[in-house]
C-alpha cells in the first residue's frame, strides 16, 4: 500500500490539457540534446532527478513478481479453457 504522503502527491489525471500531457513524451522522443541510450527522467519537459519512490530495487522486484503472478493467473485460466 502507498503511504498517505505518497497518495497526496499523485497528480489529477485531468489537471493538464492534452497538449500539456503529451509534451513531455514528445520532448523525450524528439529532443536531439538528450543522449540516446543514456536514460533520463523527464518531468514537465525538463530533465530532473528520479523521485525516491521510483528508484527502489526492492519495490521494482516486488512489482515484477506481482506482475508475473497476475499474468500467470490470467494465462493459466485461459490455457485451461483451451
What would the pLDDT profile of 52-80 be if each residue is shown by its tens digit? 888 899 999 999 999 999 888 777 666 66
Cα–Cα distance between 33 and 82 in angstroms, integer? 50
User: In the prediction, which pLDDT does 7 show?
Assistant: 56
Distances, alpha carbon 45 to alpha carbons 33, 37, 49, 56, 63, in Å: 13, 18, 13, 23, 27
User: In the prediction, which pLDDT does 28 show?
Assistant: 93
This prediction has a pTM of: 0.55
- Cβ contacts of residue 27 below 8 Å, gap of 6+? 34, 42, 45
Cα–Cα distance between 44 and 21 in angstroms, integer? 8
Amino acid at each position: 500500500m502507498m503511504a498517505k504522503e505518497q497518495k497526496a502527491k499523485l497528480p489529477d489525471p485531468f489537471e493538464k490539457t492534452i497538449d500539456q500531457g503529451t509534451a513531455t513524451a514528445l520532448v523525450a522522443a524528439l529532443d536531439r540534446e538528450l543522449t540516446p541510450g543514456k536514460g533520463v527522467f523527464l518531468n514537465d519537459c525538463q530533465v530532473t532527478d528520479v523521485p525516491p519512490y521510483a528508484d527502489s530495487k526492492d519495490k521494482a522486484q516486488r512489482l515484477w513478481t506481482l506482475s508475473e503472478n497476475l499474468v500467470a493467473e490470467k494465462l493459466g485460466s485461459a490455457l485451461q479453457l483451451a
